[in-house]
Amino acid sequence: MKKFPHFILIILLSFFSCKKDTNDAPETTAPTTGGNVSAKVLVQVTNTSGSALSGASVIIGSASATTDQNGLAYISASTFSAGRNLIKVSKSTYFKSYQLLEIANGSSYSVAVVLTPKTIAGSFSTAAGGTINATNGGSVVFSASSIVDMNGNVYSGTVNVTAVYIAPNATNASSVLPNSFLGYNASSQLKFAENHGALVVELEGTSGQALQIASGNTAQIHIPVAASDLSTAPSSIPLYYFDESSGYWKEDGSAALTGGTEFVGTVSHFTFWMCPYVYNHFQLSGSVVCGANGLDGVKVSVYNQWGSYLGSVTTGPGGVWSGMIPETLTFNLVVSDICGSQVYTTGVGPFSSATNLPAMDICTGSVNYGVITGTFTDCNNQTDHNSYCRVQSNGLTKFIAPLPSGYFNSAVLFCTGSTSAVITGVNMSNNQVSIDTTMNIAPTMNFGTKQVCTTASEFCTFVLAGTNAYYTENAFANFTGVLDLTQNKIYLTVVSGQFMNETHFSVTIPNTVAGTYSVGGSPFSYSFILSGNNGTVNLTVNLTNVGTAQGDAIEGTINNVTFVDQGGNSKTLANCSFRILIDTVQ
């Protein structure tokens, strides 16, 4: 089980200019973007429990990648836009995530994304239409014969609907809603759209195919009035939807106050829909420091005076951060540790112009933090630009991307009470690791120069259906090797997953010495990431080394193959290699 801290990059990240803006006029046009730039982006994807999600699609402009078994996708490209970039993350059975990131030439970024699982709120027949009650409140009313597939073809049958209401102060707002609240009103002016009730709705057919409202048809949405707005709710409020191509919200119609408790409007398509209070906005910037030292990689969350979540930013080099905020409101800026506990809070605002705040010194109290620095080298003692820094503490794991120079310099706010952390260099392209370095948590945590040149004592790596899987020995993956001399077979398995009960690699080999063997069917079955085989296609397993005693290694590879799993799905396996130690000889 791989658990990670929940870091979300929210609003517009801009780590490059934090000078005081003396222009008191609100900003009404979109931030400009330049030509293409080269940069590196490490995206870490988890579920709401903090467990890594493999197989998630990550798209930034024309560049894309798929997360590996650690939930990591690494994109190094020269096609990023200078400035504002939209990161799209998707995985089956989860709501999509949309993150905005400001990218500068030659820079490296670490972005953490939390995906929220989808739950079917209800179903209806296209012939009859129906009303679906959304999770947490609100509803959607569908007309009869109004649904088509994504190609515009009429769909007949049952429609499964996932629909969730997100209140202004919902605890899951940051992991469900897009991370930018900037949007265009009907006059094409850029505004800050503050959430006062939102619905996210997705439609699927019985085979899981995406569906939509047919052209010329509409659906009626009912969005509850937030409890804090019941006495002041306007008779009409604009409706904004999230444009998944541009990354901006856009005004499209309005919703009427009905019964004093809900806003009701009609929509012609589904994405994220929101009833916002619309404000002019200004840039707010500042820095997070510890004494004289700026702290990068620290999450700063923003809440308005009523406790509604407005987003968060992650500090860049020197601890600098910047984002857009609505005018006239007061805010609380909150810094949390990797366990989600608040360690620093300060009140600011209201603002009537762009403002650069004084530095926030979070080390005036008892914050448990460490600035991790150092360098990893390869087997030739050259800086290893392909290695990540893995930090494990208190059952959580954080991966840190290197700076362009290959040097690591990142602050981690550890959980209260944690006293130590294990730091490891991991090169996922060649299965090399550094020797684990256990360090006491302290303001300065320099691990020096460590060589990433040791084959992990246990590892398993493969590509399944285009998804990279990489396991190495640590607290979040269990390896088992059984050398069964009495029955002349070898049993190898890797168990991972949220509850450490998911078999992610399993193979039973019909011999106990090095050689090439055919594996498939009972009793010599195999399984990869919960995809067991149906016994119709055999693997070719090449055992290159088989030890004879407990603690010895069993090493080998598996030829590329396409097999059919127990669910009847075709899966292509590629680039599989393993090294698993013998636990039991019998």
The model's pLDDT over 527-579, given as tens digits with 9 standing for 90+, comes to 887 676 766 788 899 999 999 999 899 999 998 888 887 777 888 888 888 98
Give 288-335 pLDDT, tens digit per residue: 887 777 777 677 888 888 888 787 777 766 788 888 888 888 989 988
Compute the mean pLDDT over every residue in the chain, rounded to the nearest whole number.
Answer: 84
Mean pLDDT for 24-36 is 58
Locate all alpha helices (DSSP H) within 411-518, ordered by sequence: none
Nearest to 494 by CA among 502, 483, 482: 502
Q: How far apart are CA 246 and CA 85, in angstroms?
A: 9
pLDDT above 90 as % of the chain: 39
Query: Which CATH superfamily hosts domain 369-455?
Result: Immunoglobulins (2.60.40.10)
CATH class of domain segment(s) 122-279 = mainly beta
Residue 73: pLDDT over 60: yes
Handedness of CA 339, 340, 341, 344 (dihedral sign): positive
Per-position DSSP letters for 213-276, written without gaps between them: EPTT--EEEEEEPPGGGTTT--SEEEEEEE-TTTS-EEEEEEEEEETTTEEEEEESS-SEEEEE
Can you give the pLDDT at residue 523? 63
Same fold yes or no, 28-117 and 369-455: yes
The residues, any chain, with a CB within 8 Å of residue 408's CB and separated by 6 or more, are 372, 373, 374, 375, 376, 389, 400, 402
DSSP 82: S
Nearest CA-CA partner of 9 in 114, 165, 116: 114
Q: Residue 571: CB partners within 8 Å, gap ≥ 6?
A: 464, 465, 528, 531, 562, 563, 564, 565
Domain borders along the chain are 28-117, 122-279, 369-455, 459-585
Q: Write the DSSP symbol of residue 128.
A: T
Question: What is the sign of the dihedral through the CA atoms of 198, 203, 209 and 211?
Answer: negative
443, 368 Cβ separation under 8 angstroms:
no
86-110 pLDDT, tens digit each: 999 999 889 999 988 878 788 777 7
Cα 448 → chain centroid: 30
Closest CA to 477 of 457, 459, 462: 459
Is the pLDDT score of 500 beyond 60? Answer: no
Is the pTM for the entire model greater than 0.85? no
Task: Summarize pLDDT for 201-258 with one digit per residue, the tens.
Answer: 999 999 889 999 999 999 999 999 988 899 999 999 999 999 999 999 999 999 999 9
Beta bridge partners of 219: 142, 267
CATH architecture for the domain at 28-117: Sandwich (2.60)
Give the residue, 8 or 482, on which the prediction is more confident.
482
- Region 433-442 average pLDDT: 90
Confidence of residue 145 (pLDDT cuts 50, 70, 90): very high
pLDDT of residue 16 exceeding 50: no
Question: In this structure, what token pair is assigned to residue 4?
Answer: 């990670």
Number of alpha carbons in the 13 Å side-chain half-sphere of residue 214? 14
DSSP state for residue 415 in the 8-state scheme? P
